[in-house]
């Protein structure tokens, strides 16, 4: 079965691509700027599991034309429909609202939220034909509880959660599930960019007391992509060391 991971060459996306390959999924790995990392990952996957096929696809997923072209390329390469879609691509452009540029608001919404809608729109017909689909959207705890300095990011991630629940309601009867995974603070380039005081402030509120690893998120995604999760849809699974429990 074929899985597509957007932004699948680095950080959390890379861990998801590896975990899905480990679980015997063929993997289409999307990248935008990280071409070298994508090529390295292909070698790693073939060393890990030579029973699966993996290939890399360059596209800016915030652009619908590029998304459509990527889906055509994936179909030509694998001759199979994307049955597991992981919308992982995302960026931050943090600032307080009064200093946030319109451009930073729009870029974050385009890259984090519109991209997911574009990929779902491009994937859904084939999933319906195949009578099988697993859509997993990477949200964030910021989309659940907000975060000062991240109005754009939090809005995009709250939007991802609304999108996920709507997909779940539209397609639950068609054997297509849609779930979101909401990571807390995970060690990647994205969080390495955060000021230490902002990271420490959040970390103090994490019951587990430590940051998470990309693999923690990847394992949750692999579960939701599996047959074992067939009766789970429209859910938000927080992978956050207990930060957002209610």
- Active site residue ranges: 153
- Return the number of the residue (132 or 183) whose C-beta is nearest ligand NAP: 183
| Closest distance to ligand NAP from the beta carbon of 174 (Å) | 26
Task: Give yes or no for residue 140 binding ligand NAP (CB under 6 A).
Answer: yes
| Closest distance to ligand NAP from the beta carbon of 121 (Å) | 16
Task: Give yes or no for residue 183 binding ligand NAP (CB under 6 A).
Answer: yes
Site residues for ligand NAP, 15-74, by CB under 6 A, read 30-34, 60-62
Retrieve residue 162's tokens: 């609304």
- Return the number of the residue (85 or 138) whose C-beta is nearest ligand NAP: 138
Phi-psi region of 38 (alpha: psi -120 to 50; beta: other; left: phi over 0): alpha
Task: Give yes or no for residue 241 binding ligand NAP (CB under 6 A).
Answer: no
* Whole-angstrom distance, CA of residue 235 vs CA of residue 24: 24
* Whole-angstrom distance, CA of residue 178 vs CA of residue 189: 27
Give the one residue of 1, 3, 4, 11 binding ligand NAP; rule: CB under 6 A: 11
Q: Cβ distance 178 to 167 under 8 Å?
A: yes
| Closest distance to ligand NAP from the beta carbon of 90 (Å) | 2
| Closest distance to ligand NAP from the beta carbon of 129 (Å) | 26
In order, the DSSP letters of 142-188 are HHHH--TTBHHHHHHHHHHHHHHHHHHHHHGGGTEEEEEEEE-SB-S
- Return the number of the residue (11 or 133) whose C-beta is nearest ligand NAP: 11
Task: Give yes or no for residue 82 binding ligand NAP (CB under 6 A).
Answer: no
- Return the number of the residue (132 or 151) whose C-beta is nearest ligand NAP: 151
Retrieve residue 183's tokens: 């990571």
* Whole-angstrom distance, CA of residue 222 vs CA of residue 220: 5
**Interstrand relation of 133-138 and 176-183 (parallel, antiparallel or unpaired):** parallel
Site residues for ligand NAP per CB under 6 A: 6-7, 9-13, 30-34, 60-62, 88-91, 111, 115, 138, 140, 183, 185-186, 188-191
């Amino acid at each position: 079965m074929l899985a597509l991971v957007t932004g699948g060459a680095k950080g959390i996306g890379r861990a998801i691509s590896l975990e899905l390959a480990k679980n015997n999924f063929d993997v289409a790995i999307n990248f935008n700027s990280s071409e070298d990392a994508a090529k390295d990952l292909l070698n790693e996957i073939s060393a890990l599991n030579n029973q699966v096929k993996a290939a890399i696809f360059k596209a800016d997923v915030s652009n619908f034309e590029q998304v459509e072209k990527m889906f055509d390329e994936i179909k030509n390469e694998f001759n199979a429909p994307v049955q597991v879609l992981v919308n992982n691509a995302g960026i931050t452009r943090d600032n307080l609202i009064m200093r946030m540029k319109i451009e930073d608001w729009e870029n974050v919404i385009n890259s984090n939220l519109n991209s997911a809608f574009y990929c779902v729109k491009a994937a859904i017909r084939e999933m319906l034909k195949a009578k099988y689909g697993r859509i997993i959207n990477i949200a964030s705890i910021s989309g659940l509880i907000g975060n000062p300095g991240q109005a754009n990011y939090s809005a995009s991630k709250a939007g991802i959660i609304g999108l996920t629940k709507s997909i779940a309601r539209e397609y639950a009867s068609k054997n297509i599930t849609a779930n979101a995974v909401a990571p807390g603070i995970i060690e990647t380039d994205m969080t390495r960019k955060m000021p230490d005081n902002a990271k420490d402030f959040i970390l103090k509120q994490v019951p587990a007391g430590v940051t998470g690893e990309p693999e923690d998120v990847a394992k949750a995604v692999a579960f939701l992509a599996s047959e074992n999760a067939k009766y789970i849809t429209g859910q938000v699974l927080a992978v956050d060391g207990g930060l957002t429990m209610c």
